[in-house]
Amino acid sequence: HVFFRAAAGFEPKDDGVKDNPKATLDGKKLWDIFFEHGTEMVITKSGRRMFPSFKVKMSGLDKKAKYILLLDIVPVDDCRYKFHNGTWSIAGKADPDMPRRMYIHPDSPCSGEQWMQKPVSFQKLKLTNNIADKSGFVSTPFFFIFFLFTILNSMHKYQPRLHVVRTHDLMALPFVEWKTLAFEETVFIAVTAYQNEKITQLKIDNNPFAKGFRDSGGGKREKKRLALHSSSHESYPLTKRAKMDDDHDDEEDSNLKHTKTSNNNNNPRDATRSATSHGGDDDDGDVDDNDGAESGGDDD
């Protein structure tokens, strides 16, 4: 748990509210299984949602006070990784960090009582490697811009961070105290195609929106392709992948029946200050037919 003080020169006023924000990771058992094998999250030009989804159960909030919940994804270290002979290892120094973006939960601000009623899901956040992305802004109060997309470097390790801010006003974010919570088991490596066949199978077996892929027998074909690749003892991205968007929109279920090829201690508010205005195109999370062409970036 980390507290971020208000912006320099501003002391948050004591509103008399006594709370102790806490969060437990929803679906921890599934996260643990992925973490054991080295969680991978696919990033695409058009954006891909995380699976497992980042969901938390909140506690310790004042029932009547208003809170804003935010999420960002930060580098874990300054290394670039490679997958070789079935294991991940350091391949060198990290690429320059991508522009930091902050995602605000769409229900914000909300009362502590409402936040604590049910798990809070950040499933709409999408991961992209498109540095030219100009989409996904949610709100532009004052100098803050909140994005539905976060830009990551492939083959780098990241960790989501949850920020809890007791305020009803978005424009007050720079001037109040933030509490930040993170879970070790949510650490993942960003990839343009799954590297570890165990992770591929875990995604197929556990993502409900991969049902069509399972029914079509795509899993067997994928494992056979992986076996051929692994015979050379090198890591190769899959040239054909499940159209398994890791998305959670019901209307996308039918699309999945087809197959195809930081610890960073900076104040998270700095990210929002450096953002520039964006306007948008969003593919609604559907995987592009061109995604497979981006897979080659993962080879080392």
* pLDDT of 214 higher than 70: no
Helices 28-37 and 197-206: crossing angle in degrees, nearest 10, is: 160
- Any idea which of 53-62, 90-99, 199-208, 261-270 has the lowest mean pLDDT? 261-270
Alpha-carbon torsion, ordered 250, 251, 257, 258, to 10 deg: -130
Domain locations in the chain as residue ranges: 1-192, 195-261
**CA of residue 50 relative to chain centroid, distance:** 5
Candidates 2.60.40.820, 2.40.30.10, 3.20.20.300, 3.90.550.10; correct CATH number of 1-192?
Answer: 2.60.40.820
Of the candidates 35, 300, 55, 102, the one whose C-alpha atom is nearest the C-alpha of residue 192 is 300
Token pair for residue 46? 């058009």
* pLDDT of 26 higher than 80: yes
Higher per-residue pLDDT: 263 or 131: 131
Q: How far apart are CA 191 and CA 56, in angstroms?
A: 24
Of the candidates 60, 55, 48, the one whose C-alpha atom is nearest the C-alpha of residue 25 is 55
The residue count for the chain: 300
Of the candidates 142, 140, 160, the one whose C-alpha atom is nearest the C-alpha of residue 150 is 160
The model's pLDDT over 51-77, given as tens digits with 9 standing for 90+, comes to 999 999 999 999 999 999 999 999 999
Cis status of the peptide bond prior to 208, with omega within 30 of 0: no
What's the mean pLDDT in 259-286? 38
- Any idea which of 64-78, 166-180, 273-287 has the lowest mean pLDDT? 273-287
- 23, 185 Cβ separation under 8 angstroms: no
Q: How far apart are CA 288 and CA 102, in angstroms?
A: 25
